[in-house]
Amino acid sequence: MEYFIRVLGTQDPDIHMDELMEGLVAENLSAKFAFDEGEDPGNWTVIDILNEEGDHLAQLERNPVVAGELGLEELDEFRESIGEDKPATAAKWLTAYFDKVKVIYAIQMLDAAFEGGNYEIVTNIKSTIWNKAGGILQADDEGFSNEEGYHILWQFADDVTGKWSCAVLNEKGGWEQFVMELGDKTQRKEFMEGKVPAKAERVS
């Protein structure tokens, strides 16, 4: 089953492959990039991410949000898919926010990405892109974040558990940030109602 994480960027700068590599080196990580001969290292479309052993970890694709391109199609699909998701306030906020998105970086995670320290390689590259492009994050079967990276929309499976950094909009339109237990049905219900769960740990 395909699994993607995405950066929905509000800026669309050229991000050179050297910048991705610099981000890895700064965290004592290393990787290799594979790409077609026709690709420009400073203005690329698709990159394969490998570890030093040559294992394929992920494929990274850059899709501008313009007419006739995959980025716009994907964004339109997101608009349609979140209509019934909760909290309703987050779905409404996202629908408006999508108008600002200029590019989608889609990272298709392969099995090897979840082995050993490989996951850190992929998330480091995601963070470098997010720092450059701004915007919000999305992950399949999880949902969307706000601009600070806090989870704001429930798209998890019913059996999900674990602590998660989330946020809901308050009456003034600001984000209330907290850490909740996803498996706690009461906390889950309160979150989907757009409330800070009573048992959640607030984040200042």
DSSP string, 7-33: EEES------HHHHHHHHHHTT---EE
Residue 45, amino acid: T
For residue 59, what pLDDT is reported? 98
How sure is the predictor about 68, in pLDDT bands with cuts at 50, 70 and 90?
A: confident
How sure is the predictor about 38, in pLDDT bands with cuts at 50, 70 and 90?
A: confident
For residue 204, what pLDDT is reported? 80
Cis peptide bond prior to 87, omega within 30° of 0: yes
How sure is the predictor about 57, in pLDDT bands with cuts at 50, 70 and 90?
A: very high
Output the pTM of the full model: 0.95
For tokens 């701004």, the residue is 134
Q: How buried is 17 (Cβ within 10 angstroms: 0-12 exposed, 13-18 middle, 19+ buried)? A: middle
How sure is the predictor about 4, in pLDDT bands with cuts at 50, 70 and 90?
A: very high
pLDDT of 1 above 80:
no
CA distance readout (Å), 127 to 48, 87, 140, 169: 17, 26, 17, 24
What are the domain boundaries of the chain?
Answer: 3-155, 156-204
